[in-house]
Each structure stands twice: as C-alpha cells, then as structure tokens.
C-alpha cells in the first residue's frame, strides 16, 4: 500500500500524470470547440475528441477485425524482426572477425544500407510472389541494417586486453570467439535489436498502408497500418486515432519485452 502511495504521490509520477491529463484535456477542448464555443480552433477543431475516440475504441474491442489487424501486424513485425536477427547477428559477427569477409561484403552492405526500407516497397512487390512476403521483407530490411551495424560496431570495439588475456590463458580461437567476442557483443545486440524493433514498427505500418491498401482479391492485406488507412478512406476518423494509439501500445509492449530479455541476457550490466 505504501509503495503504491509513494508511486502515485511521487513528484515525477504526479508530473507525468498531470502532463498526460493536460494534454488530453486540451485536445478534448480543442476538438469540441465548435460544438462548445461555436467556432473551431484551427487544425485541432477537425480531429476527433479523445472521449469520442475512447467510445469508438470500446466498441472495437469486441470486433474480431480489429484484433485481426493487431495479429497481422505483430506477425509481420515478428517475422521480419526475427529474420533480421537470425541473419544479421551472424553477418555482423563474421564481418567483425574476418577481414576477408568484411572486405567482400561490407561495400555492398554499405551501399544498400542508406536506401530507406520504404523505397524497397515497389521492388519488393514485384520480386516476392505474395503480398505477405513483400511486406515482411520490407519489415525485415528495417531491422536488418540496424542490427548488423550495431553488432559489427560492438564486436569491433572489444578491448584488445580481453583478447590478450584470453590468449595468454590458453584460449583457442574458437574459445575466444565463444567466450569473449560473443558475450562482449551481447550489449550491442540488445541495443541494436531495440532500435531495430522501433524501425520495424515504423516500416510495417507504412508498408501496410502502401501495399495492403492497394486491394487484393478478397479485401486487403490487413494489419494496423491498413486499419488506419481504411478508416481514413472510409471517413471513420475516430478509428484512425484508435489505430495510432494501438500501434503505440504494441510498439511499447515489444520494446518492454526486449528490454526484459536484454536484461536477462546481460546480468553483469544490471547493477551499474
């Protein structure tokens, strides 16, 4: 009880709550200005009020279509993200430990890296047989380059003293990789995956808007991005905001899970 009380009355918690409340209140007043004061506050006057959004949202909670959107976006994010980890981590490590490998692949990698994932959408649609694969591929790209560059940077900045000590104490090449390079790179992998996860959500929503909204036999590619786009096209403005907040929540949950996993993988950093 006292912990809860301390939490709720703590100065920074109080400030956070006030900040959110004031924001929502201003938004409500602005959005309802035409109705309440007879004139619309510019810009804000045209967006749906938070209470209206909440009302629509509660209605949507029982709608399987809404949860289907969550499911599809999450599926694409996970598929793209996990593929990026599975390919990106070994690639980054290989580039870090092998000069030849690095010389061979890094230039190509660096040339592809600046291309925004969304610029890949058209090519991806042409290249991949299904729309699902093209969206997942673009999502993969969003996380892939970030993961590789973080792993590479992390593995290359390992202090040479660790290698010297390990070598003097009789560690073989494989031991050194397994017991020095790998654990020393884990913090960079965690950071890279957290950043990658954020990009993945940015990319999946945009990709769904572009390609999922294009219409397919039997409706659409679906997902939260498509949900927002469809709401916009259909004039259901409250739903747009519901979609936006849903993405915020989904992204937050993913980041939080990653943080927990990261903490579990790097116990030696927990006490700092």
Partner 1 sequence: MLAPTMTAPARGARTQGAICIRDVVKVYDPDRAAIMAVDHCTLDIAAGEICMIVGPSGCGKTTLLNAIAGFHSITSGEIHLDGELLCGPSKPLADPGPDRIVVFQNGALFPWKTNLENVAFGVVMQGKMRKKEAYEKARAMMADAGLSGTEHNYPGEVSSGLRRRVEIVRALMNDPKVLLFDEPYRALDSLTKSVMHEALLEIYYKNNVTIFFITHDLEEAIFLGHRLVIMTSRPCRPKLILDVDIPHPRDYSVLTTPRFRELMDQTIEAVHEEARKSFEAGEREG
Q: Which is nearer to partner 1, 169 or 233 (CB)?
A: 169
Question: Minimum distance between the CB of residue 184 and partner 1, rounded to whole angstroms?
Answer: 7
Question: Minimum distance between the CB of residue 143 and partner 1, rounded to whole angstroms?
Answer: 24
Sign (positive or negative) of CA dihedral 242, 245, 247, 253: negative
Question: Minimum distance between the CB of residue 187 and partner 1, rounded to whole angstroms?
Answer: 9
**What does the alpha-carbon distance between residue 106 and residue 145 come to, in Å, rounded to a whole number?**
11
**What does the alpha-carbon distance between residue 249 and residue 67 come to, in Å, rounded to a whole number?**
13
Question: Minimum distance between the CB of residue 101 and partner 1, rounded to whole angstroms?
Answer: 25
Q: Which is nearer to partner 1, 68 or 164 (CB)?
A: 164
**What does the alpha-carbon distance between residue 92 and residue 216 come to, in Å, rounded to a whole number?**
37
Q: Which is nearer to partner 1, 157 or 164 (CB)?
A: 164
Show the CA angle centred on residue 247, arms to residues 246 and 252, nearest 5°: 100
CB 99 within 8 A of CB 156: no
Inter-axis angle of helices 182-210 and 224-234, nearest 10: 20
Q: Which is nearer to partner 1, 58 or 269 (CB)?
A: 269
Q: Which residues bind partner 1 (CB under 8 A)?
A: 159, 161-162, 164-172, 175, 179-180, 183-184, 186, 266-269, 271-272
Q: Which is nearer to partner 1, 104 or 172 (CB)?
A: 172
Question: Minimum distance between the CB of residue 175 and partner 1, rounded to whole angstroms?
Answer: 6
């Amino acid at each position: 009880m006292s912990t809860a009380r301390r939490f709720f009355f703590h100065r920074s918690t109080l400030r956070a709550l006030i900040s959110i409340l004031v924001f929502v209140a201003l938004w409500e007043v602005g959005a309802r200005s035409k109705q309440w004061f007879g004139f619309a506050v510019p810009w804000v006057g045209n967006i749906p009020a938070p209470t209206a959004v909440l009302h629509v949202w509660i209605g949507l909670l029982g709608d399987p279509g809404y949860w289907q959107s969550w499911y599809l976006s999450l599926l694409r994010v996970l598929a793209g993200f996990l593929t990026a980890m599975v390919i990106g981590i070994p690639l980054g490590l290989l580039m870090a430990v092998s000069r030849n490998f690095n010389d061979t692949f890094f230039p190509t990698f660096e040339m592809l890296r600046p291309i925004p994932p969304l610029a890949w959408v058209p090519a991806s649609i042409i290249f991949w047989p299904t729309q699902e694969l093209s969206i997942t591929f673009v999502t993969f790209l969003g996380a892939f380059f970030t993961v590789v560059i973080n792993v590479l940077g992390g593995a290359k900045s390992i202090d040479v003293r660790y290698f010297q000590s390990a070598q003097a104490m009789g560690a073989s090449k494989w031991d050194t990789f397994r017991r020095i390079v790998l654990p020393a790179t884990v913090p960079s992998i965690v950071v890279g995956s957290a950043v990658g996860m954020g990009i993945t959500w940015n990319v999946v929503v945009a990709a769904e808007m572009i390609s999922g909204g294009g219409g397919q036999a039997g409706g659409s590619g679906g997902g939260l991005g498509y949900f927002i786009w469809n709401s916009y096209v259909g004039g259901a403005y409250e739903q747009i905001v519901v979609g936006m907040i849903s993405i915020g929540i989904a992204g937050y949950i993913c980041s939080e899970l990653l943080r927990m996993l990261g903490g579990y993988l790097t116990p030696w950093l927990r006490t700092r």
